[in-house]
Amino acid sequence: MDNIFKDLEELGFKNLSDADLFQEKEQPKKKVISKEKEEQLKAQTYIYQRKVDCPVCKHSFHSSTVRSGRVRFQGTELDLRPQYVGFDPLPYDVTVCNYCGYAAINKYFKNISEKKKRAVIENITRNYIGHKYNEILTYEESVERYKLVLLNSAVGGDSNGIKAYICLKISWLYRGWQESLQALEQKDDALLQKLKTYEIVFVEKAFEGFKLAYATEKLPIMGIDEMTMEYIIAELARRLGDSKISKQWLGKVIGHSDVPKRLRDKVYDVKELIKEHEKKSQQD
Binding site for Zn ion (CB under 5 A): 54, 56-57, 97, 99-100, 102
Nearest distance from residue 116's CB to Zn ion, in Å?
13
Residue 12 makes CB contacts below 8 A (sequence gap 6+) with: none
Nearest distance from residue 99's CB to Zn ion, in Å?
5
Nearest distance from residue 233's CB to Zn ion, in Å?
34
Distances (CA, A) of 235 to 13, 165, 206, 262, 263: 85, 14, 11, 15, 12
- Name the residue nearer to Zn ion (CB basis): 60 or 76: 60
- Name the residue nearer to Zn ion (CB basis): 109 or 210: 109
How much helix, strand and coil, in percent to the nearest 5, is found in the chain?
A: 55, 10, 35
**Interatomic CA distance for residues 103 and 93, integer angstroms:** 11
| DSSP-derived secondary structure for 194-251 | HHHHHHHHHHHHHHHHHHHHHHHSPSPBTTB-HHHHHHHHHHHHHHTT-HHHHHHHHH
- Name the residue nearer to Zn ion (CB basis): 90 or 100: 100
Nearest distance from residue 125's CB to Zn ion, in Å?
8
Q: Are 101 and 124 in contact (CB under 8 A)?
A: yes
**Residue 211 half-sphere exposure toward CB, CA atoms < 13 A:** 15
**Interatomic CA distance for residues 144 and 138, integer angstroms:** 10
Residue 70 makes CB contacts below 8 A (sequence gap 6+) with: 45, 46, 87
**Interatomic CA distance for residues 46 and 40, integer angstroms:** 10
Nearest distance from residue 137's CB to Zn ion, in Å?
19
- Name the residue nearer to Zn ion (CB basis): 104 or 203: 104
Nearest distance from residue 127's CB to Zn ion, in Å?
14
- Name the residue nearer to Zn ion (CB basis): 54 or 274: 54
A 10 A CB-CB count for 7 gives 10
- Name the residue nearer to Zn ion (CB basis): 57 or 273: 57
Nearest distance from residue 207's CB to Zn ion, in Å?
32
**Interatomic CA distance for residues 111 and 197, integer angstroms:** 34
- Name the residue nearer to Zn ion (CB basis): 102 or 172: 102
